[in-house]
Structure 1
Amino acid sequence: MNLPANLATSAVLPALVSAADERARFRFLEFFTAQIRNPNTRRAYGRDVAQFLDWCAVQGVRSLGEIHALHVAAYVELLTQSHAAPTAKRHLSAIRRLFDWLVTGQVVPANPATSVRGPKHSQREGVTPILSPEEARHLLVSIGDATLIDLRDRALIALMVYSFARVGAATGMKVEDVYMQQRRLWVRLHEKGGKLHKMPCHHSLEAYLDAWLEASKLRDEPKAPLFPTFRRGTGRCAGGGELTRTAMSQPDAFAMVRRRAKAAGIETPIGNHTFRGTGLTAYLSNGGTLEKAREMANHADPRTTQLYDRRRDQVTLDEVERVLI
């Protein structure tokens, strides 16, 4: 078999894989292209596996077949000393899944990660910073509607707040994913694992999306990205530049969120995922149920929804203020 030229170069492969035969290299690449469909998981697993294999090479390992459980266990132990437990567990999961694939492809005789146990980790509450309803409202109002970029950014943040959308699902939307049903605007989110999730729009989100689609003239282009980037310097629209037909990336959204938060005077180091937790907590604080929150957030496991429930934070703050000194 002949590998495509752009995949066969050693620049994209860890040294131990690059030094292996063509069948092993092909099987390695096949794992990431055929087995890992989610692009975010693919990127994370790719980094994790490359880091592990590079570490093995530094330890004197000369081939994939020389990697043993001792190597994996030592590597995971080192990770737990410098990283959070979930990070170490994700690295171990990536290594284990890759070697399962290599074993079934008869590249290596056994999976060295099978018997290695990851660090214990129990998480009852998420760690992503969230905003209070007042802060989220202030952020949206502070963006305004002076330029197309303002309208786009406000609509994207509102979508993540009011529909609990993951940033990947939000930035991956096309114009046709905003549609009318039952006299209300709905959004269609393409979630992880190819799941299709539909949500009716909150009236505020409906107004923000309508304003963006009307001003951008994207309503007549159903296949265009809902949240495209701008080509600066063309002068076509004030404060923005010409609209491209390239969707914003997650790093684009993160940079935008940080910039908007700073301009609004919000000191909390928020990110893309902040708005999912913010929306869910606001919903639960106003009488929503965990069962409905799980459905709206499209969580397979209700325990995942509970991680976003930050109502205890307010209780703790109230109790702390009782220390009248």
Structure 2
Amino acid sequence: MDNDQLISLFMDYISFEKGFSGHTIEAYGRDLRYFADFLEQNGSVNFREINSALLDAFILERAKQESSRSIARNMAALRKFYRFCINDNLLQMEMPRILSPRFVHKLPEYLNENEINRLLGTADTSRRDGLRDLLMIEMLYACGLRVSEIRDLTPARIDTGAEIVKVLGKGAKERIVPVHRRCLLLLEKYLKESRPLYPKSGSTDALFLGKNGGALSRISIWKIIKKQAYRAGIRKKISPHTFRHTFATHLIKNGADLRAVQEMLGHADISTTEIYTHLEIMDLKNQHRKYHPFYQA
């Protein structure tokens, strides 16, 4: 069985059996093809012919083009791939020792409450797209959704009576996130006054529609966020994911339980959520530095 066939079987496995997201499947496939090309360029014709020297050389090669975080994902893809192939007897070999390079966790960028209010005040709700954009920002901040989750959100997944959103997250796992009344009133207005104005709006279940009446793409959502941030005079680097960071940071700063925030974000591991406690400590340090008399002396 050649390398392309092994990659294809692995892609089917993580797609149909493991339920990985489309974004992760695409990234893992790309990582494995990079590795297969690298092996071929270095005289190895198949995935069995690897050793620690080749793996180190591959990491150095990828480091010329990618961040340490992306390289860590490369290594995760290789570990999962080899484990799958060996467990299914597709490769007769010992499990190779594949280590990830160490990298520094960057604290996520987030918006303060003033910046959020400025963003929410920029949308022109007299326009069809303005009402859509305002609701999108409200929901990103109100529920801490990923860009893929806001793209795939449908009206049927929002229970206005119970004031919850049923979010379909990574690996097709559903989680429940509360949503505040102000956001739901804006949703009602959008569904009544704005969404019907899009062409062929009855042909898709997506909540947020583009100019042609289809679901908004990830890129379109990014562009809308960038445009609204610029209008609000916010010059820091901002993306749809910034609202997810902001959602978690504001909850924890205001006393929310870490486990509850973990559930709302859909994090499998609480250590992923704990990074937001570091942001709170950073804020405390900044306040201490700013107001303690010994710092001012």
Identify the TM-score tier after normalising by the shorter chain.
Answer: 0.7 to 0.9
Pick from 220, 224, 232 the counterpart of residue 205 of structure 2. 224
- Corresponding letter in the other structure for 1:57: E
Show the counterpart of 1:11: none
From 116, 123, 144, give the equivalent of 1:143: 123
Over the residues paired in the alignment, what is the CA RMSD in angstroms?
Answer: 2.7
**CA deviation after TM superposition for structure 1 residue 92, in Å:** 0.6
Aligned to 2:101: 119
Alignment map for 1:10-25 (pairs within 5 Å)? 21=2, 24-25=3-4
Name 2:69's counterpart in structure 1: 86
Displacement of 1:52 after TM fit?
Answer: 2.2
Q: What code does the residue aligned with 2:287 have?
A: D
In structure 2, the residue matched to 1:208 is 186
Would you say how many aligned residue pairs link Structure 1 and Structure 2?
286
Using the size of structure 2 for normalisation, the TM-score is: 0.84
Kindly state the Cα deviation for residue 172 of structure 1 after the two structures are TM-superposed.
0.8
TM-score, normalized by length of structure 1? 0.78
Unaligned runs of 5+ in 2: none
Higher helix proportion: 2
Corresponding residue of 1:315: 284
> 1:206 Cα deviation (Å)?
1.6
Which digits, 9 at most, give the CA deviation of each residue in 1:16-67, with x for residues without a partner?
xxxx74xx53332121133233111112212222222222233233333433
2:174, 2:144 → 1: CA distance? Answer: 14
Distance 1:303 1:295, change over 3 A: same
* Contact 2:14/2:25 (<8 A) preserved: no
2:8 maps to: 29
Distance 1:111 1:205, change over 3 A: farther
The change in CA–CA distance for 1:268 and 1:316 in structure 2 (over 3 A counts) is farther
After superposing on structure 2, the runs of 4+ consecutive aligned residues of structure 1 that deviate more than 6 Å are: none
Quote the residue 1:44 is aligned against: 27
Query: Do 1:143 and 1:260's aligned partners in 2 also have CA atoms closer than 8 Å?
Result: yes
Distance 1:222 1:292 in 2: 36
Equivalent pair of 1:96/1:111 in contact (CA under 8 Å)? no
Aligned residue for 1:90, secondary structure, equals: helix
Which deviations, in whole Å up to 9, do the C-alpha atoms of 1:90-109 show, x marking residues without a partner?
A: 11111122233333454433
CA pair 199-221 structure 1, distance change in 2 beyond 3 A: farther
Question: Which moved further from structure 2: 206-215 or 188-197?
Answer: 206-215
**Equivalent pairs: percent with the same residue?**
22
Distance 1:284 1:273, change over 3 A: same
- Tell me which residue corresponds to 1:284: 252
CA gap 1:101/1:159 in 2 versus in 1, 3 angstroms: same
Amino acid at match of 1:190: L
Matched, 1:255 2:223: yes
> For residues 227 and 202 of structure 1, do their structure 2 counterparts lie closer, same or farther at Cα, with a shift above 3 Å needed?
same
- CA contact 1:186–1:201 (8 Å) conserved in 2: yes
Matched position secondary structure for 2:111:
coil
Whether contact under 8 Å (1:280, 1:308) holds in the other structure is yes
Contact 1:131 1:278 in 2 (8 A): yes
CA shift, 1:191, in A, is 0.8
CA pair 104-306 structure 1, distance change in 2 beyond 3 A: closer
